Each structure stands twice: as structure tokens, then as C-alpha cells.
């Protein structure tokens, strides 16, 4: 993904549910930032979250990653939506207080879905939203229930999903996105929900995380 010069800062975010571990990954010359939430089964330091953050940083996008309260407490069951939204709001407000670059929001899987809910409810006001493997439905059980709130979001949206993601059937997600006036989907060839690719059949020469970073940068540039 290229040479990466960054400032990494650990911090605590005060949320209504208690203090949450978090960290900034800030590249030299950052021109935008994103508040980045983790998925259901992995904390903010998980390898996938690190890979996403580094791919963004290579493209001059800083990221603030943080734990949800359930993960901070060592629990397996995810937080109720209202608790998750409060944590997202606290993280977003923390980011606003520390940096003045254009601020986006998003997350991987569950974190992206909860961030979309926070935006739909007006609890955060990012410049745009980036969803890394948005979990549109249960595995191999396509439906649109989890997309019901998306029309309430007024900001531009980017969906970064793998073509083998069994939580986002491609035709269905494309239909959902086509009905949102400021949304676009970018399909990552042979990627699954965790961004694991089939190396023998993937024809795109880019590493999947490099592709994610470049696509996110293009989206950010279009928005700002």
C-alpha cells in the first residue's frame, strides 16, 4: 500500500456507557478523517480494522477507531442500537473536538450499520458515510429490513462490499443503493465479508485494501 508515515495516538472516549478505548491513525498531510466503528466480533484493534485504517491513511485519510461498550466490557452480545448510537455520537464529537478536517463516519459490518442508524437519526452529521461490508441481511437470507432507515440519511454514502459477501447479495444491495439519491456501491472482486479474496480468480492486480483506500479517497474528494 505504499510508505506510511503516521502519528498514532491512543485515547479514551467518554460515552454514556463508560470510557471506551480508542486510537487515532493520522497520516502526514491528512486532508480528511473518518470515525470508524468495528464489526460485531472484532474490537477496534482487529487486523481488518488496522488494515482498513492503514489503507485510508496511505490516501491521507485519518481514522478514529474505538470500542463499542459491549466489546469494552468483554461481552459477546452486541449493544442495543440505542447504546451503540450513543457510543458513535461520543466518538464523533471527540473527533470534531480534536481535528478540523472534513469528517466522515462509517465502519465495518455491524459498526457501519449502527453508524448509518446514528446518521439517519441525526445524532451525527458527517460529510459522508463509508460502509465497509454493510450487512444488509443475515447470511444467505436476502431481505431489505436493515435498509429501511437508509432513505433518512441526507449525506453521500459509499458501500464497499465484496462480490462474495454472503451478508450483502449483490443485486439486492445494488437495488437498495440505486434508490438512494446520493449513494454508490463499489464491488471488490472475489472479496468476502471479511475482505478475504480468491487470489487465483481475482483479476484486479490491486491488493483489496489498496483498492478500498483508493476508492474511499475518490469518494472523499468528490464530497469535499
- Dump pLDDT digits (tens) for 4-44: 566 679 999 999 999 999 999 999 999 999 999 999 999 99
Q: Would you say residue 124 has pLDDT above 70?
A: yes
pLDDT tens for each residue of 76-116: 999 999 999 999 999 999 999 999 999 999 999 999 999 99
Total domain count, the chain: 1
On whether residue 47 sits in a domain, the answer given is yes
Say which CATH number the domain at 209 has.
3.40.50.1820
Q: Name, in order, each residue with C-beta under 8 angstroms of 18's C-beta and a sequence gap of 6 or more.
A: 69, 72, 73
Q: Would you say residue 3 has pLDDT above 50?
A: no
On whether residue 72 sits in a domain, the answer given is yes
On whether residue 164 sits in a domain, the answer given is yes
For residue 2, give the nearest of 222, 221, 214 by alpha carbon.
Answer: 214
As a whole number of angstroms, the distance between CA 19 and CA 47 comes to 22
Residue 140, pLDDT score = 84
HEC-encoded secondary structure of 153-171: CCCCEEEEEECCCCCCCHH
Helix (H) or strand (E) segment spanning residue 113: helix 110-120
Asked whether the beta carbons of 66 and 91 are under 8 A apart, the reply is yes
On whether residue 73 sits in a domain, the answer given is yes
Q: Taking the CA atoms of the chain, what radius of gyration do you get in angstroms? A: 16
Asked whether the beta carbons of 166 and 139 are under 8 A apart, the reply is yes
The percent of residues above 90 in pLDDT, for the chain, comes to 94
Residue 6, pLDDT score = 65
Residue 7, pLDDT score = 66
On whether residue 125 sits in a domain, the answer given is yes
Asked whether the beta carbons of 107 and 132 are under 8 A apart, the reply is yes
Asked whether the beta carbons of 206 and 214 are under 8 A apart, the reply is yes
On whether residue 78 sits in a domain, the answer given is yes
The residue range of the domain holding 185 is 6-223
As a whole number of angstroms, the distance between CA 9 and CA 179 comes to 39
The pTM (predicted TM-score) of the whole model is: 0.95
As a whole number of angstroms, the distance between CA 88 and CA 15 comes to 9
Q: Cell digits for 77?
A: 452480545
As a whole number of angstroms, the distance between CA 114 and CA 120 comes to 10
The percent of residues above 70 in pLDDT, for the chain, comes to 97
On whether residue 1 sits in a domain, the answer given is no
Torsion of CA 149, 134, 116, 102, to 10 degrees: -140
pLDDT tens for each residue of 52-81: 999 999 999 999 999 999 999 999 999 999
Amino acid at each position: 500500500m505504499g510508505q506510511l508515515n503516521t502519528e498514532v495516538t491512543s485515547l479514551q472516549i467518554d460515552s454514556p456507557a463508560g470510557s471506551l478505548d480508542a486510537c487515532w491513525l493520522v497520516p502526514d498531510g491528512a486532508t480528511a478523517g473518518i470515525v470508524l466503528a468495528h464489526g460485531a466480533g472484532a474490537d477496534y484493534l482487529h487486523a481488518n480494522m488496522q488494515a482498513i485504517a492503514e489503507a485510508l491513511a496511505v490516501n491521507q485519510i485519518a481514522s478514529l477507531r474505538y470500542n463499542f461498550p459491549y466489546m469494552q466490557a468483554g461481552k459477546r452480545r452486541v449493544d442495543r442500537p440505542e447504546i451503540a448510537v450513543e457510543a458513535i455520537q461520543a466518538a464523533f464529537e471527540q473527533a470534531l473536538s480534536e481535528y478540523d478536517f472534513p469528517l466522515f463516519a462509517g465502519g465495518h459490518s455491524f459498526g457501519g450499520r449502527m453508524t448509518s442508524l446514528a446518521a439517519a437519526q441525526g445524532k451525527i452529521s458527517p460529510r459522508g458515510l463509508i460502509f465497509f461490508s454493510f450487512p444488509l441481511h443475515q447470511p444467505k437470507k436476502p431481505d431489505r429490513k436493515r435498509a429501511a432507515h437508509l432513505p433518512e440519511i441526507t449525506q453521500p454514502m459509499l458501500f464497499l462490499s465484496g462480490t462474495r459477501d454472503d451478508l450483502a447479495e449483490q443485486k439486492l444491495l445494488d437495488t437498495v443503493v440505486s434508490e438512494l439519491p446520493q449513494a454508490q456501491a463499489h464491488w471488490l472482486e472475489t472479496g468476502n465479508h471479511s475482505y478475504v479474496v480468491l487470489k487465483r480468480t481475482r483479476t484486479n492486480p490491486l491488493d483489496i485494501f489498496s483498492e478500498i483506500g483508493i476508492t474511499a479517497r475518490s469518494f472523499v474528494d468528490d464530497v469535499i
